[in-house]
């Protein structure tokens, strides 16, 4: 039957070799510090003031080539490298936050993406809480983002770690919400503070033959469960207006800012955010 993978095929072998190459290059990347942390502003939909930032990893190879996290993070998860990478990201995020505070810049919160493997690791919770206190940060200014599927992991260890971090004051977001097939009964005991509505739903807002229905349903769910809502992937003024009218408080997306390297992010903290020219559709441009 179709769809059943062969044990050997040139395509599969190519993929395997590709993964192995990326894997060995990631070891080098960790040692040679080829990873960078970029920051995408999150903003209040009401007035575009900065609500925080999401820390997003970037990999710049010595050749200058940039590799997308969408490519290497899944490979790192399979290769058992994700914990080292995420620990690097978390420490870099805390260090950046502390630096900004010291120079009087205000970023209300920074969120990092983590995976269940991080939470399952021995000593992760004390490591993170100590890191936060060593950098002199308030726990509530640190956030962790996990995808819905990952949060459904039944492993008691993982649930306990998450609970401990929330009790400590770290803010937990469910990332890419709506894509992970949660059962509604599961939602009732969501171990989270924030729902991030996935970009794939925002893409259908405001009006595309009812495409916004899922977004509306997620907004209603979030309100029912007392969760803060963050819309990701806002690319147009129409999306911004639509979400604002429906009471979504916070957003993120190219309309206001792409992920930025640290110097550009610092400029954004100093100068404030606005709708960026580059993001506007041609017909909206001033003549
Ligand atoms: P995510 O956590 O859902 O991050 C949002 C992704 O959407 C980012 O892609 C961001 O650049 C992109 N994005 C934001 N606004 C817009 C928009 O308006 N339009 C479009 N087209 N895209 C937008 P990125 O940086 O490539 O990250 C991809 C994924 O890689 C992340 O998805 C996250 O799951 C993972 N990732 C990134 N950094 C880390 C990390 O440090 N650790 C772990 N474990 N995963 C990470
Ligand atoms: Mg995220
Ligand atoms: Mg997301
Ligand atoms: Mg997403």
Ligand 3 centre to CA of 146 (Å) is 9
From atom 33 of ligand 1, which residue's Cα is the shortest distance away? 113
Ligand nearest to the CA of 40: 1
Closest residue by CA, ligand 1 atom 44: 114
Read off the DSSP letter of residue 209. S
Ligand 1: atom nearest CA of 56 is 38
The pLDDT value given to residue 143: 98
CA distance 107 to 98: 10
- Asked whether residue 4 carries a pLDDT value surpassing 90, the answer given is no
Minimal-distance CA residue to ligand 1 atom 2: 113
Please give the average per-residue pLDDT across 101-111, as a whole number.
95
Q: What are the residues whose beta carbon lies below 5 Å from ligand 2 (ion)?
A: 113, 145, 175
The predicted-structure confidence for 8-20, as pLDDT tens digits, reads as follows: 677 777 888 888 9
SS (H, E, C) 55-117: EEEEEECCCCCEECHHHHHHHHHHCCCHHHHHHHHHHHHHHHHHHHHHCCCCCCCEEEECCHH
pLDDT in tens, 248-272: 999 999 999 999 999 999 999 999 9
Nearest CA to ligand 1 atom 28: 70
Nearest partner of 139 among 165, 163, 117, judged by Cα: 165
Q: How far apart are CA 38 and CA 91, in angstroms?
A: 13
Q: Which residue ranges have their beta carbon within 6 Å of ligand 1?
A: 40, 56-57, 68-70, 73, 82, 86, 89, 113-115, 145, 175-176, 232-235, 252-254, 259
Q: What is the pTM of this model?
A: 0.92
Complex ipTM: 0.97
């Amino acid at each position: 039957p179709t769809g059943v993978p062969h044990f050997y095929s040139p395509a599969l072998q190519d993929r395997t070799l590709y993964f192995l190459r990326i894997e060995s290059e990631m070891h080098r990347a960790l040692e040679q510090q080829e990873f960078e942390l970029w920051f995408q502003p999150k903003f209040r939909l009401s007035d575009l003031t900065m609500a925080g930032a999401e820390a997003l990893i970037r990999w710049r190879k010595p050749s200058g080539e940039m590799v997308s996290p969408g490519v290497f993070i899944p490979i790192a998860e399979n290769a058992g490298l994700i914990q080292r990478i995420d620990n690097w990201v978390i420490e870099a995020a805390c260090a950046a936050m502390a630096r900004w505070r010291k120079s009087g810049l205000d970023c209300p919160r920074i969120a990092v993406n983590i995976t269940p493997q991080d939470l399952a690791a021995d000593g992760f919770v004390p490591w993170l809480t100590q890191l936060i206190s060593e950098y002199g940060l308030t726990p509530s200014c640190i956030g962790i983002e996990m995808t819905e599927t990952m949060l459904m992991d039944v492993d008691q260890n993982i649930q306990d770690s998450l609970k401990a971090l929330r009790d400590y004051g770290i803010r937990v977001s469910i990332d890419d919400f709506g894509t992970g097939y949660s059962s509604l009964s599961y939602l009732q005991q969501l171990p989270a503070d924030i729902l991030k509505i996935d970009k794939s739903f925002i893409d259908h807002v405001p009006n595309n033959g009812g495409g916004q229905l899922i977004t509306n349903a997620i907004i209603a769910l979030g309100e029912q469960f007392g969760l803060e809502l963050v819309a990701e992937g806002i690319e147009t003024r129409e999306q911004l207006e639509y979400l604002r009218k429906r009471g979504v408080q916070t957003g993120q997306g190219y309309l206001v800012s792409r992920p930025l390297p640290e110097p550009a992010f610092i400029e954004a903290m100093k100068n404030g955010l606005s709708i960026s020219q580059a993001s506007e559709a041609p017909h909206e441009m001033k003549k």
